[in-house]
Chain A
């Protein structure tokens, strides 16, 4: 029945869904790790930071800005040689991971940076006064205090990624967004278009709600 209404085989739907989930999950994971690393470098090396270092801060911060200023659709094709170098191919779902990570990591880095900078100076001063090492300050003070905010940052990043995956269809990555364009828009299949959009709306709502609840729990306010 679903098949008749949407005029595509169920297997196509499932494939698209699994491609999107695969792209979002994998690039989120890698992007979070990379983004956190960049965020910590920026937090530590910024002026008056724990390891204040103007040149490093300038280079990392600028690199983050530059990557973030390239529209994803252009990034997708612009870094194809790099993609080929990393995963051995320029097209397909796995190939899309490279630009997705390159896109999301600096974005998350900025969000994480803001989250960590929200931790009060007093906490850092307390850590210093206890003779904490830089790593201990990060691990026992900054990250635990920022974690609720970090979870919200990841939530925002996840939703951003979901949007980006729709464009990954350009390099043959498939996914729900691609389904909506190829089958829904180009074949004027309105029911399919509407259903995919609805699915994306519901997914975003769920992700955001889940993120909010998790952050609330981590804040220990009640």
Chain B
């Protein structure tokens, strides 16, 4: 995998006379060509600052940011401006020019590059067709819906054929249905135009739907990073768990749990995350066949992550202590599991 963006031990501290705020601390991160890379975090986690260091809207206080082999954090003047033309950006609030039509907005980067008029017309028509806004070319932004405005933002970002697209909370101001269409568009851009996409968001659903890699941020630090499938299959950091739990249902209905815990005899209740293919029908019978233990399914959720299936089984294992222990060690070597209600005997 060819690397396209690299953070090397980056710190960013905002300082004024009264106080200093550490927005990013010890950031080491690599984005590969062709990735849709999600940066997940609550507001104030430092993700806005992080994405703005990729196009040097913010400069690191320490460390450096390398984009396509060049240290963009150290470029200035004309060199920096030229480098930025290869890194497009879209925004939560779209940041369109209200005094300009859709066509004129989309044409802006080309106008800045002194591209001839005929060429601008050809390119903008093409890109408006790509984002399905041809019929709105002469409209002003007051007449557009949020989703259409973001499409204009995307069209504007793509006119110059950039290799990287930075997305600052691209769907946070949109309703759920519109969010999906924008996410679909970002995916299409990634696949058909071979653009590397970096998305910062507090919406874990976006990461689940379209990102192949992700980093989770908290208090200016990246606390977890890797393949999205791996992160969802086995979230390590508490904050990651909170995010993942928001979209992957791992809960056991309270009544069901209470009933299970009330059962007599030696038993354990475990939550097992199984990634890879649909195992709804086979997982439990397979487990029961391997061990002399009764396996009951308390609840089950099946989720799609990156064109793969993540199943969460909440199981009740009934049987002698030494046998259930064997089941747990078997599970431990293959899957991520968590024991629930271990204090049932108290």
Contact = CB atoms under 8 A, between A and B. Distances in A.
A178 B117 CA distance: 53
Given A131-B84, A131-B85, A144-B100, A125 B112 contact: no
A220 B97 contact: no
Contacts of B247: none
Interface stretch (A88-96, A133-141, A184-192): A133-141
Interface size class of B (residues with CB under 8 A): 20 to 34
Contacts of A132: 81, 112
A100 B233 CA distance: 74
Nearest to A129: B89
A144 B141 CA distance: 14
B57 A128 contact: yes
A128 B54 CA distance: 13
A123 B153 CA distance: 12
Nearest to A128: B57
Contact of A130 (B100, B108, B141): B108
Contacts of A222: 142
B219 interface: no
The B contact surface, by secondary structure, is mixed
A147 interface: yes
A54 to B, nearest CB: 13
A126 B89 contact: yes
Interface string B313-338: 00000000000000000000000000
Contacts of A133: 81, 112
Contacts of B84: 128-131
B81 A131 contact: yes
Interface string B48-63: 0000000101000000
A210 to B, nearest CB: 19
A122 B91 contact: yes
Contacts of B55: 129
Contacts of A125: 57, 91, 95
Contacts of A221: 142
Interface string A100-139: 0000000000000000000010110110111111001000
Closest 5 CB pairs of A and B: A131-B84, A131-B81, A122-B95, A220-B140, A126-B95
Interface of B: 55, 57, 80-85, 87-89, 91, 93, 95, 97-100, 108-109, 111-112, 140-142, 166
Interface of A: 120, 122-123, 125-126, 128-133, 136, 140-141, 144-145, 147-148, 218-222
Given A136-B112, A145-B98, 5 more contacts: A126-B89, A131-B81, A131-B109, A220-B98, A220-B140
26 contacts: A123-B95, A123-B97, A125-B57, A129-B84, A129-B87, A129-B166, A130-B84, A130-B108, A130-B109, A130-B112, A131-B80, A131-B83, A131-B84, A132-B112, A133-B112, A140-B111, A140-B112, A141-B97, A145-B97, A145-B98, A145-B99, A147-B99, A219-B99, A219-B142, A220-B99, A220-B140
